[in-house]
Amino acid sequence: MRFLNLIIFFLECNAFKLNNLPPINSYKKVFNNNKIVKVYEPSNINKKNMDAIIFYTGANSLIPGDIYSNFIGSLNRYNFSVSVATNDDSITKELLYDIRNEYKNIIAVSHSSGYVSALNTINSQKNIKKAIFLDPVDNSNLLDLNPLKFMNNNNNKFNYIENIMILNAEKSYKWSLFPKFEMPFIPGFALDTKMIEKNNPDLVLEKKDADDYGHSDILDILWSDLMHGTLSKGHDDRSSNNLAEYHNWLAEEIYVFVNKNVVNSKELSSDIIDLSTPIDYEEVRPNYFSVDSETYLN
């Protein structure tokens, strides 16, 4: 058994090397009611030099962060610490209180209806000024039987956030009639950005789209392929390299948004991103680390 575990360990180390990942320290924070928050971060960087991402997963933060592991790894490559929020708002607030002075900045990132969980938390956090929403879904009034309230988006008000970026996987919003009829995955609950801007006149909002990717392509390939074949059409190229390129593009856009003072504003002007001709951010990318004996696999 020990020999088998050793083989698995070396295979995992080689996988880290092939993906050019930095040494990652993963650990758990346990709170009073036994709720666990998982944290993934580069291990060779002082926390004061790292930006911390609080990541709100889909299904109102009920989906485990484990199925986003490749995307989280891409964020780690850009020197982000990533804490996966639970669906318990009080626990996330405890976490934010604990780390309030540990990192350079704290940024909220959400996927899908994790947007609702993020909004509930960050509106009480004066030190969170930036947020990134990936395919944001607002289902906050889903179970409300009052149709007038269902159409009311006045709850999309930000108390302290100053800058928002929205990254959309466009296949989640497109109808298709040929060669076969396909419905978009999230049109009914897609976040109304015009209402956001109306309710937050001082907010700076940026929006970018990935034309050929779908709502679930952010997930690890097993789950992404499952959704592609059933509920949520994704990119036609289902290769792991192609999905890794998408995860890296998302991480890179997040990195540039957080550090956009070092990027030429003209490079951020396009609303539609063509992944076949990616923007060259080599000068502003962080240094990647090679994997060595200090790699942590927990």
Residue by residue, DSSP assigns 189-243 as TB--HHHHHHH-TT-EEEEEEETT--TTTTS-HHHHHHHHTTTS---S---HHHH
Q: For every one of its 298 residues, what pLDDT tens digit does the chain have, with 9 covering 90 and above? A: 444 444 334 434 444 333 455 688 999 999 877 788 999 999 888 999 999 999 999 989 999 999 999 999 999 999 999 999 999 999 999 999 999 999 999 999 999 999 999 999 999 999 999 999 999 988 877 645 444 444 454 567 899 999 999 999 988 666 444 444 454 445 556 788 888 999 999 999 999 999 889 989 999 999 888 887 777 788 889 898 999 999 999 999 999 999 986 544 444 433 444 444 443 434 344 443 332 323 333 3
Residue 247 exposed, middle or buried by CB count within 10 Å (0-12, 13-18, 19+): buried
Per domain, the residue ranges of the chain are 23-273
Question: What's the predicted TM-score (pTM) here?
Answer: 0.77
Which CATH superfamily hosts domain 23-273?
Alpha/Beta hydrolase fold, catalytic domain (3.40.50.1820)
